[in-house]
């Protein structure tokens, strides 16, 4: 008496092989996508958070200095207008 069915064994082996192929395809796709993303990121001119914060602080300081100089210029022009 046969306890194992050859057809079911073949189907089981086929499914096992298919899962292995699917896992390999998944791994290959992930590797390809990761490589593509790394190349895309390398082509972009991204800055670090520290660089961004430093430039932001410089811009803030320049804006404050500009406002102070504008106020000083307005005061000097007002004095000049009073003297003329």
- Tens digit of each residue's pLDDT (9 = 90 or more) over 32-83: 999 999 899 888 888 889 999 999 999 999 999 999 999 999 999 999 999 7
Predicted local distance difference test score (pLDDT) of residue 83: 78
Mean of the pLDDT values across residues 15-20?
90
Structure tokens at 2: 């046969």
∠ CA 12-15-21, rounded to 5°: 145
Residue 1 pLDDT > 70: no
Predicted local distance difference test score (pLDDT) of residue 84: 66
What pTM, to 2 d.p., does this model score? 0.47
CA distance 64 to 53: 16
CA distance 34 to 28: 10
Residue 7 pLDDT > 90: no
Task: Find the length of the chain.
Answer: 84
């Amino acid at each position: 008496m046969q306890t194992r069915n050859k057809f079911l064994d073949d189907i089981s082996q086929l499914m096992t092989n298919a899962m292995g192929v699917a896992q390999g395809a998944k791994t290959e796709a992930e590797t390809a996508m990761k490589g593509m993303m790394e190349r895309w990121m390398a082509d972009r001119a991204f800055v670090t958070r520290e660089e961004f914060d430093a430039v932001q602080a410089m811009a803030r300081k320049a804006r404050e200095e500009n406002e102070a100089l504008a106020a000083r210029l307005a005061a000097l022009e007002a004095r000049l207008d009073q003297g003329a």
